[in-house]
Structure 1
Amino acid sequence: MKLSWLAPAAVLVASVSAQAAEVSSSVTMTNDYRFRGVSQTSGDPAVQASIDVGFDNGVYAGIWGSNVNFGDSDNANLEVDYYVGKYGEITDELGYDANIYYFQYHGYTDGTDIDFFELDFRLSYKDFTALYAYAPDYINSDQDYHYLALDYSTSITEAVNLDLHAGYTFGEYYEDLDAEYADYSVGISGSTAVLDLSVAYLFNDVKGSKTDDLDDNTVVFSVSRTF
């Protein structure tokens, strides 16, 4: 899949480049890279990094990467995501965040191409955030993909947050496989002077036996540093 669809997004970012921009980057280490409840590293650790640029009007763009391992011998070993979006406030307590993602996977030696793009839209109200994600051609399958999620994060102490998550994966791709599923997590997170820390218990109702390390119920730890 080509990146030509990103051209309008590039024009959008270029149109605000004269404004004040803030550049940031991050590095994260985790014992398991989970994406919407399913491991992208077969239960193994991951190292992830990102670089972002944001503008005063809420427009932002960035690149994020992580090692991956889907369990096959001839499989991807690197995921790189490109994204551009805009966030803002509708009222003092209601905010939005709309963006476009391009998921790109490297390492296949047989010519496999599962790159795809996804549209995300979030609404946040007080401690709640709702997400709707849509991919019209999920992993180049000619089938669509949808994801709905609700997150709740609130302070337990001045330094620690309680984080709750519930999500549901569905769409033509998963309907054909009879594999629609829900994922959940309960965790805590916090920050020190230089590090962001989190730990969460993840569980789901993926059909079939949980023996391949991709969808086992698990505890995920992560440590991040933002620059």
Structure 2
Amino acid sequence: MKKSIITLATSYLLAVSANALADVSSTVNLTSDYTFNGVSNSDNGPALQASLDYSNDSGFYTGTWATNVDFGSGDNTQLEWDIYAGQYFQLNEKVGLDAGIAYYTYHGYSGADELNYPEAYAKFGYNSSVGDTELNFWYSWDYFGLDVGHYIAMVAHTFEIAPGHNVRASFDRSTSRDENKWAWNGKEAYNHVRLEYMSSYKGFDFNLALEDTNMNIDTADTRVVFSVSRTFGL
């Protein structure tokens, strides 16, 4: 489901250098569709999202993030509220590592908390003259409270096409370790591709993405997603 929080609301901590950390901030994001690895978590509708984050110059950070959700008919879950903490390491002038843990919680009816689950993650970033390359990995040992292992592996590259204008291409694969407990459209795994344009104007960040999966379901088909966000220092 979720973004990796850890994208958290389009905020990609792996790209933050250690000397830029040391503040409290909040990001508010409005998106035309809350997709996580190509699957809509808002029933193909819009979502309003917000985060509150703390980080310091040691590379440590923690925060919380919330969004409305809609998993379709028969499910009354309305809110996802996540918490996370991690550590950023600048290994050398070109390589960074971001590692941490997140906990996803769901609300809206009395049984929604049965969906809650933890997730650990590690993200490597490599900066070069042709852009930033990312290798990311997420793992949960209790995916959606079902006592099943689940992992996501992603490779991505971001490059600048003009000052203040970037394009990011990514490929990821989500895999269940026991498809009898959790399956993606009847299979143990699925693939997701995403191509996005990112820019900013007068303090607002804009993101326009084209994405698709190899699942034949209406919440994970080809789609265009637009979002606008703003980050406030506190």
TM-score normalised by the chain length of structure 2 = 0.83
Amino acid at match of 2:156: D
Higher radius of gyration, 1 or 2? 1
Instruction: Give secondary structure in 2 for the equivalent of 1:113.
Output: helix
Q: RMSD between aligned alpha carbons?
A: 1.5
Counterpart in the other structure of 2:198: 189
In 2, Cα distance between equivalents of 1:51 and 1:89: 23
**What is the CA deviation profile of residues 2-30 of structure 1, one whole-angstrom value per residue up to 9, with x for unaligned ones?**
xxxxxxxxxxxxxxxxxx94100010000
Deviates more, 1:173-182 or 1:57-66: 173-182
In 2, Cα distance between equivalents of 1:90 and 1:135: 26
**What is the CA deviation profile of residues 140-190 of structure 1, one whole-angstrom value per residue up to 9, with x for unaligned ones?**
111100100011111000021011010000022447632410000111101
* Residue pairs, 1:1-227, within 5 angstroms: 21-110=22-111, 113-126=114-127, 127-174=132-179, 177=183, 178-206=187-215, 209-211=216-218, 214-227=219-232
In 2, Cα distance between equivalents of 1:195 and 1:183: 27
Q: 1:130 Cα shift? A: 0.8
Going from structure 1 to structure 2, the CA distance change for 1:203 and 1:74 (only over 3 Å counts) comes to closer
In 2, Cα distance between equivalents of 1:119 and 1:111: 21
Going from structure 1 to structure 2, the CA distance change for 1:49 and 1:168 (only over 3 Å counts) comes to same
% identical aligned pairs: 33
Going from structure 1 to structure 2, the CA distance change for 1:71 and 1:93 (only over 3 Å counts) comes to same
Contact 1:74 1:109 in 2 (8 A): no
In 2, Cα distance between equivalents of 1:175 and 1:167: 22
Going from structure 1 to structure 2, the CA distance change for 1:149 and 1:54 (only over 3 Å counts) comes to same
In 2, Cα distance between equivalents of 1:91 and 1:52: 25
**What is the CA deviation profile of residues 110-153 of structure 1, one whole-angstrom value per residue up to 9, with x for unaligned ones?**
46611000001000011101101000111111110010001111
Contact 2:177 2:188 in 1 (8 A): no
Deviates more, 1:136-145 or 1:102-111: 102-111
Going from structure 1 to structure 2, the CA distance change for 1:25 and 1:170 (only over 3 Å counts) comes to same
Aligned residues: 204
In the TM superposition, structure 1's runs of 4+ consecutive aligned residues that sit over 2 Å from their partners are 72-75, 108-112, 173-177
Amino acid at match of 1:225: R
Contact 1:145 1:174 in 2 (8 A): no
Q: 1:72 Cα shift? A: 2.6
Contact 2:105 2:113 in 1 (8 A): no
In 1, Cα distance between equivalents of 2:178 and 2:66: 25
Q: 1:88 Cα shift? A: 1.5
Contact 2:168 2:196 in 1 (8 A): yes
5+ residue gaps, structure 2, are: 1-20
